[in-house]
């Protein structure tokens, strides 16, 4: 006796969250059955293995049919074939587009191209995430990227509107799209200690302040691309380190303000010029695409690592950065105050987030 056909169709589509997770994780039906057995479901429910097999198959088939709709979530809402309560629809979408931390760190900042897709087996082997799941996550990134690529308006809002994500997920995807578009390097060994959350935080600050959309909300690609003019202008900041008097004045102002307040005052005093040169040079280099990509590498190399080697506590870093950016306003010879603020406000936020072990 073999089962030729075995289906269950409910007027309200049944969604088993547990099986959905296994499906999303890319397990085959037999693996999923084995995992469910191991989770003790047979003992809890008194079901047989055959029942579990049939149930799992059924859910997998349903998910497979839903997958086409999940590629364009508004379709899931308007379709008539599967009657699913709104809360369940939201869950389906949210889980389908959720991604693994380990995976996103591997592809963050990479071009979402065929080439990267070919490397997915390596990523799968490295992270222990099934290839199927890697593909889904990669395709999700790419799909969202393609849809919002050419759109006006806020990146996160666009994503939310076209994919019906929660705020949180929409912001994460905005970061992923932003990183993919600007190809920031995140894979270097130096950057391994950083989490996706760190990068996403920086991305949000940069989208808010450094893109075209930050100044003019009616430009194409406004949230995706950095404001080229702004990046060009950043060269003007060079005077802060090139002009020796200005640099000395800046240093003395910062030192006066922080004397006695900083645990690492002497280290700061000794390193001030190096640090300032590092931060200003990062700004000045941003005219070249290549250097834009290396932004995070540079920040870690030029600022995070020196401070860390001197064991600056985070509080001291904060005090220093605040003072460092504020005192520029007192430099009489310096004319680019607004530019400095646009640069440094974001950078300060990023650096504080990047500064950890």
Choose one: 87-95, 130-138, 255-263, 285-293; the region binding another protein (CB under 8 A).
Answer: 87-95
CA separation for the pair 123, 139 (Å, rounded): 14
Distance CA 38, CA 31 (A): 10
How far from 115 is each of 43, 111, 118, 139, 296, CA to CA, in Å? 46, 8, 5, 13, 23
Options 30, 48, 195, 309; binder of another protein; rule CB under 8 A? 48
Instruction: State the number of binding residues for another protein (CB under 8 A).
Output: 46
Q: Does 130 bind another protein (CB under 8 A)?
A: no
The only residue of 38, 78, 118, 244 in contact with another protein, by rule CB under 8 A: 78
Per-residue mark of binding to another protein, 293-332 (x: CB under 8 A): ----------------------------------------
Residue 80 binds to another protein (criterion: CB under 8 A): yes
* 45 binding another protein? (CB under 8 A): yes
**Rounded distance between C-alpha atoms, residue 176 and residue 146, angstroms:** 12
User: Which stretch in 54-62, 211-219, 220-228, 337-345 sits in contact with another protein by CB under 8 A?
Assistant: 54-62
**Alpha helix (H) residue ranges in 17-48:** 17-24, 29-38, 41-45
Scanning the structure block, which residue is given the tokens 């605040």? 322
CA distance 21 to 115: 28
Asked if 85 is part of the footprint of another protein (rule: CB under 8 A), the reply reads yes
Least distance in angstroms from the C-beta of 141 to another protein = 19
Stretch binding another protein (CB under 8 A), from 73-81, 110-118, 139-147, 304-312: 73-81
Nearer to another protein, 83 or 195 (CB): 83
Q: Closest approach of Cβ 4 to another protein, in Å?
A: 4
Phi, psi at residue 211, to the nearest 5°?
-95, 175
Structure tokens at 131: 């290839």
* Joined tokens for residue 260: 């006695």
CA 324, 327, 330 angle in degrees (round to 5)? 160
CA distance 114 to 120: 10
Q: Does 82 bind another protein (CB under 8 A)?
A: yes
Three-state secondary-structure class, residue 269: helix
- Of 222, 173, 181, nearest to 200 by C-alpha is 173
The least distance separating another protein from the CB of residue 93, rounded to whole angstroms, comes to: 8
Confirm or reject binding of residue 35 to another protein (CB under 8 A): no
Find the largest Cα–Cα distance for the chain: 91
Sole binder of another protein in the list 22, 129, 148, 164 (CB under 8 A): 164
CB 173 within 8 A of CB 144: yes
* 54 makes contact with another protein (CB under 8 A): yes
Among 38, 40, 43, 46, binds another protein (CB under 8 A): 46
Per CB under 8 A, residues contacting another protein are: 1-14, 45-48, 50-52, 54-55, 57-58, 61-62, 64-65, 75, 77-83, 85-87, 89-90, 160, 164-166
């Amino acid at each position: 006796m073999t089962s030729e056909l075995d289906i269950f169709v409910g007027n309200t589509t049944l969604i088993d969250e547990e099986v959905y997770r296994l499906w999303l994780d890319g397990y085959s039906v037999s693996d999923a059955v084995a995992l469910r057995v191991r989770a003790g479901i047979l003992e809890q429910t008194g079901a047989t293995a055959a029942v579990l097999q049939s149930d799992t198959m059924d859910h997998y088939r349903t998910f497979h049919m839903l997958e086409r709709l999940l590629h364009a979530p508004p379709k899931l809402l308007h379709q008539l074939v599967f009657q699913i309560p709104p809360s369940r629809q939201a869950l389906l979408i949210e889980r389908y587009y959720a991604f693994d931390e380990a995976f996103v760190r591997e592809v963050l900042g990479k071009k979402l191209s065929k080439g990267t897709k070919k490397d997915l087996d390596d990523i799968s082997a490295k992270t222990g995430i099934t290839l199927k799941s890697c593909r889904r996550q990669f395709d999700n990134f790419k799909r969202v990227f393609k849809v919002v690529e050419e759109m006006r308006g806020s990146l996160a809002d666009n994503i939310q509107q076209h994919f019906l994500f929660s705020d949180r997920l929409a912001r994460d995807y905005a970061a992923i799209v932003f990183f993919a578009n600007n190809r920031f390097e995140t894979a270097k060994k130096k950057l391994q200690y950083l989490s996706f959350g760190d990068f996403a935080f920086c991305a949000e600050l940069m989208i808010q302040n450094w893109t075209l959309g930050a100044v003019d909300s009616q430009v194409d690609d406004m949230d995706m691309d950095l404001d080229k003019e702004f990046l060009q202008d950043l060269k003007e900041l060079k005077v802060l380190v090139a002009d020796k008097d200005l640099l000395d004045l800046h240093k003395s102002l910062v030192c006066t303000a922080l004397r006695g307040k900083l645990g690492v005052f002497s280290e700061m005093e000794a390193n001030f010029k190096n640090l300032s040169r590092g931060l200003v040079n990062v700004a000045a280099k941003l005219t070249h695409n290549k250097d834009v990509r290396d932004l995070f590498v540079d920040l870690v190399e030029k600022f995070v690592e020196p401070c860390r080697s001197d064991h600056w506590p985070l509080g001291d870093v904060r005090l220093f950065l605040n003072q460092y950016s504020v005192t520029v306003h007192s430099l009489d010879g310096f004319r680019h105050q607004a530019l400095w603020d646009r640069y440094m406000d974001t950078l300060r936020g990023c650096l504080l987030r990047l500064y950890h072990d």
